[in-house]
Amino acid sequence: MEPDRVFIDIRTCELTLSQMMGEIARLQEEYPEYEIFMDGDEYAIVGRRRNQHQGVTA
């Protein structure tokens, strides 16, 4: 399994909230194969590769 990819380290960036939201939207468009979210443990905006086998049935 691929580790999460850190896109923005919130501790060191100087973006405003509206700029951060714009960057998240841009990342979602640029990396559609990733789920982009705020990781509270990492205190960063990260991407996690989407599961390619979501349609599994039991």
| Model confidence pLDDT, tens digit, residues 3-55 | 999 999 999 999 999 999 999 999 999 999 999 999 999 999 999 999 855 55
Paired residues of 28 in beta bridges: none
Query: Residue 49, Cα to own-chain centre: how many angstroms?
Result: 9
Q: How many CB atoms lie within 10 A of CB 42?
A: 13
Quote the CA–CA distance of 13 and 24 in Å, as a whole number. 13
Query: Residue 9, Cα to own-chain centre: how many angstroms?
Result: 11
Quote the CA–CA distance of 52 and 36 in Å, as a whole number. 16
pLDDT digits 0-9 by tens, 26-38: 999 999 999 999 9
